[in-house]
Amino acid sequence: MLAATPLGQARDASARLLDALATADVIAAEDTRRMRSLAAALGVAVTGRVVSHYDAVETARLPGLLDDIRAGRTVLVVTDAGMPAVSDPGYRIVAAAAAAGLPVTCLPGPSAVTTALVLSGLPSERFCFEGFAPRRDGDRRRWLEPLRTEARAVVFFESPHRLAATLATAVDVLGADRPAAVCRELTKTHEEVLRGPLAELAAWAEEGPVRGEITVVLGGAAPSAAPSVESLVAAVHERVADGERLKDAVSTVAAAAGVPKRDLYNAALARP
C-alpha cells in the first residue's frame, strides 16, 4: 500500500497511517531516517523491516518488494512528505504490482499540489500538474511555451535557489501580468503564500534568499477572442492559390482559429 505522509505538521497524519506504520511487515521509505523520525513523533513503534526506496534504488528494489507482496506480507510505501508517486518514488511499484495482478491500495492524505492550489486563491475547477520545472534556461523556456494558452491552473515544484530564474523566465514567456502564487513551507512553522502577477513574484524572489520547499501555482491563461470570419478569408484564398482545395483550406484555417467552418466557407465564396 502507498500512504501520504504529513508535509510538515506530524498531527496531519491520518489514523490509518499510524496503524500502517505500526503493523506493516515491510516499510519502503524514501528516507528511512525521516520515516523513523515521523514514527517517533507520532508515538508509533515500527516493528516491520525498513528498506530505503529513493529514486536511485527504486527499480532495483522492485523484485524483492513484489516477492514480499506475493508472500502475503504488507508492504507500505512512503516518501518524505506528501503522496508517493507524485514527483516522488512510488509509481513503478504500483505499475509492476498491477501488471502482476497483485493488490494495491492507497491511504489518502496530504499533498503539496492540492494544498498549494487551494491556498493560491486562483480558479481551480480544472488544473494540471507539471512536476519539477526543468533546470536549464533553454529547457525551461520550451517547457513554459505551451503554457501560454493553458486555460487550466498549473501547479509545479521548484527548488528555492532556482525559483528566481524560473519566475524571470516565466515573465518573459507568459507575460508580466499572468496571475500566480508562490507557496513556501506549506503547513510548517514558516508557511508563506505570496500571490500576485508574475512580475511582482519574480522581483520578490530576486531579492532573495528564498528558503524551504516551494510549490508554484500559475493562473490559467485568459481566453483569447476568436478572430472574425472576415479576417480569415485572405488566408483561405492564399492556401487555394497554392493549390489547396477550398474545402480543405477552409477546414484547416477554421480549426486553427476556432471559428465555424460553414461561416468561413460562405465568407470565402462571397469574396472570391
Is the model's pLDDT at 176 over the cut of 90?
yes
In tens, the pLDDT along 1-25 reads 999 999 999 999 999 999 999 999 9
Measure the CA–CA gap between 135 and 139, rounded to whole angstroms. 7
Average pLDDT (68-97) is 96
Measure the CA–CA gap between 67 and 24, rounded to whole angstroms. 15
Is the model's pLDDT at 271 over the cut of 90?
no
Report DSSP state, residue 82: B
**Cβ atoms within 10 A of the Cβ of 6, count?**
20
Is the model's pLDDT at 225 over the cut of 70?
no
In tens, the pLDDT along 117-141 reads 999 999 999 999 999 999 999 999 9
Grouping H, G, I as helix, E, B as strand and the rest as coil, residue 30 is coil
What percentage of residues in the chain have a pLDDT greater than 90? 90
pLDDT band at 208 (very low <50, low <70, confident <90, very high): confident
66-70, 123-127, 191-195, 230-234, range with the lowest pLDDT: 230-234
Cell numbers describing residue 151 = 486555460
User: What Rg, from alpha-carbon coordinates, does the chain have?
Assistant: 25
Is the model's pLDDT at 255 over the cut of 90?
no
To which residue does cell 511499484 refer? Answer: 93
Mean of per-residue pLDDT scores for the chain: 95
Which residues partner with 143 through β-bridges?
none
How many residues make up the chain in this entry?
A: 272
Beta strands in 56-204 (DSSP E): 75-78, 106-107, 127-132, 153-158, 179-184, 192-197
pLDDT band at 228 (very low <50, low <70, confident <90, very high): confident
